[in-house]
Amino acid sequence: MARIIGNVFTSHVPAIGGAIAKGRTQDGYWKPFFDGFPPLRHWVGEVKPDVVVVVYNDHGLNFFLDKMPTFAIGAADSYSNADEGWGIPQTKPFQGELDLSWHLVEQLVAEEFDIVTCQEMLVDHACTLPMALLWPEQDWPVKIVPVCINTVLFPLPTAARCFKFGQAIGRAIESWASDQKVLVMGTGGLSHQLEGERAGHLNKAFDIQFMDSLTADPAWATRTSINDLVKAVGTQGIELLNWLVARGALDATGRPVRELHRSYHIPISNTAGAVMLLESA
């Protein structure tokens, strides 16, 4: 059977792509964030995952306010990106792992999760940037399965629901009849808000506590209401739901988890830039 080898968590701020495209990753403003990634690149080079399940949120590319699924999964042969104009102009298409996609769809429906299945799907910066941060040459050595979570339009799924969704994904991956190694990536956040009276909101204390909980008590955030989580991290910071889904998948394995690396830097484009790597025993 397939095996989940770990979690990677990272911010997906669009301006990261601009820094990459313009060769500014070692500028003083960006260097503390980009310096968090060599340990992750070394790790993926050593463990060599075959598939990355990318848990992220769409920014109006596939879904908009008139049609916003709570959970959606890509089931396509390939995924091209359509950048919003802030970041990497174009990347090579990502090859999809179609067999795993359909296995996830079938298993999640069997576990009574109502999902949208996308046999055509574009991916935006929330998927392309984390992949480029791990494989900066952008010659993708892995296949992907995109998993999209609504973090944009209320009512949002609760943290508890997202964690359970991740656990169901984890069970499905490890029941997949394959010998492939699967990395589950959660992207977005951490704390930030881009509009309204709280524009520029950051909450370092909460971010650090949340990151600590991912190893010490992964269900910690699930005991807080979605409204209180938004108050803590901001309207865009609620992208931490993506992290919870990814962590739930690793939790479902029942194996010990150890933190190998983290970095945290404020701010990158008015956002708390966070990076974290967890490995499954």
The active-site residue, picked from 125, 201, 261, 265, is 125
Burial tier of 254 (Cβ tally within 10 Å: 0-12, 13-18, 19+): exposed
Residue type, 232: A
Strand residues in the chain grouped as ranges (E): 3-10, 51-56, 71-74, 78-79, 94-95, 116-118, 143-149, 181-187, 257-265, 273-280
CA–CA separation, 182 and 185 (whole Å): 10
3-class secondary-structure state, position 197:
coil
The active-site residue, picked from 192, 201, 261, 265, is 192
Half-sphere exposure of 85 (CA within 13 A, CB side): 0
Residue 125 appears among annotated catalytic residues: yes
Residue 13: which region, alpha, beta or left (left: phi > 0; alpha: psi -120 to 50)? Answer: beta
Both tokens assigned to 241:
């739901």
CB 191 within 8 Å of CB 233: yes
Give one DSSP letter per residue of 5-18, joined into a string.
Answer: EEEEEE---HHHHH
CB 263 within 8 Å of CB 179: no
Q: What is the phi/psi pair of residue 273, to 5°?
A: -85, 115
CB 212 within 8 Å of CB 172: no
Both tokens assigned to 201:
């909101």
Say how many C-beta atoms besides its own lie within 10 A of residue 265's C-beta: 18
Residue 265 appears among annotated catalytic residues: no
Q: What is the DSSP secondary structure assignment for residue 198, as one 8-state letter?
A: T
Q: Which residues are catalytic?
A: 125, 192
